[in-house]
Amino acid sequence: MEILERESDDRSLIEAAQNEPARFAALYDQNFDRVYAFFARRVSSRDEAQDLTAEVFHQALASIRTFKWQGAPFIAWLYGIAANVLSKHWTKQGKHVEEELSGLSSMGGEMERSVMLAKAVETLLPDQKHVILRRFVDQKSIREIAQELGRSEGAIKQLQLRALENLRAKLGGTI
């Protein structure tokens, strides 16, 4: 039942974007985490993953009108573009694309976990979320975060520990 509803959602969002490009925003919001997770597991830096993600969505927007519904979810089409973008990226870096691509199929579970992790961060308590984003995404030191929040460094370390424990619990201890 859930799959049927998702298909129906996909179809109506795609149809809307094909008729009115500005409606592509809904497809972007729905699929951003998955496309980003695809690259985050395969490249070495956040900047690379962000650049490649941007490339996928630009290409998808440019060719959304050519998309034909064949029963597969929209994300499968995006993954196709992503694999192509990644292949070109590796080629430019002089990597052996065939060897690298051979590992792609085995990473589905890890990608889903990355998506879950991004969503789990959103559900943290505000102060825990703040610490996680500043510490890991902005890569600030404990001291800097403590100064920002007007709290002791020890308190921030405790918040960091609690946030990580909560995230692990939300992911069902899979990490």
Partner 1 sequence: MNREQLAEELDLKIEALGTMNAHPSTPEPLLHLAAELRMLPREEFRNDLREQLMERAESLEVGEYPTSAAAHEFAFGQPDLSPAFSRQQFGALPADPRNFLFSFLSHAALVAFIASGIWAAHSPAVRNRILISELTYAPLPVGDIAPHGGGGGGDHSAMQASHGTPPKFSDQQLAPPAIVVRSESPKLQASPTVLGPPDLKLPQSNQLGDLFSPNVMPSNGSGSRGGIGDKSGTGIGTGVGSGVGPGYLAGYGDGVYRLGKGVTAPHAVYDPDPEYSDEARRAKYQGNVLLSLVVDATGHVRDIRVARSVGMGLDEKAIEAVQKWKFAPGMKDGHPVAVQVSVEVNFRLY
* Site residues, partner 1 (CB under 8 A): 11, 14-15, 18-22, 24-25, 28-29, 32, 36, 40, 46, 49-51, 53-55, 57-59, 61-62, 65, 68-69, 88, 92, 114, 117-118, 121, 132-133, 135-139, 142, 148, 154, 157-158, 160-161, 164-165, 167-168, 173, 175
Residue placing its CB nearer to partner 1 in the complex, 32 or 100: 32
Task: Please tell me the distance from the alpha carbon of residue 108 to that of residue 5, in angstroms, as a whole number.
Answer: 22
Task: Give least dist CB 9 to partner 1, A.
Answer: 13
Rank residues 79 and 145 by Cβ distance to partner 1 and give the closer one: 145
Q: Which is nearer to partner 1, 40 or 82 (CB)?
A: 40
CB 96, min distance to partner 1, A: 19
* Distance of closest approach, residue 2 Cβ to partner 1, in angstroms: 20
Q: Which is nearer to partner 1, 96 or 148 (CB)?
A: 148
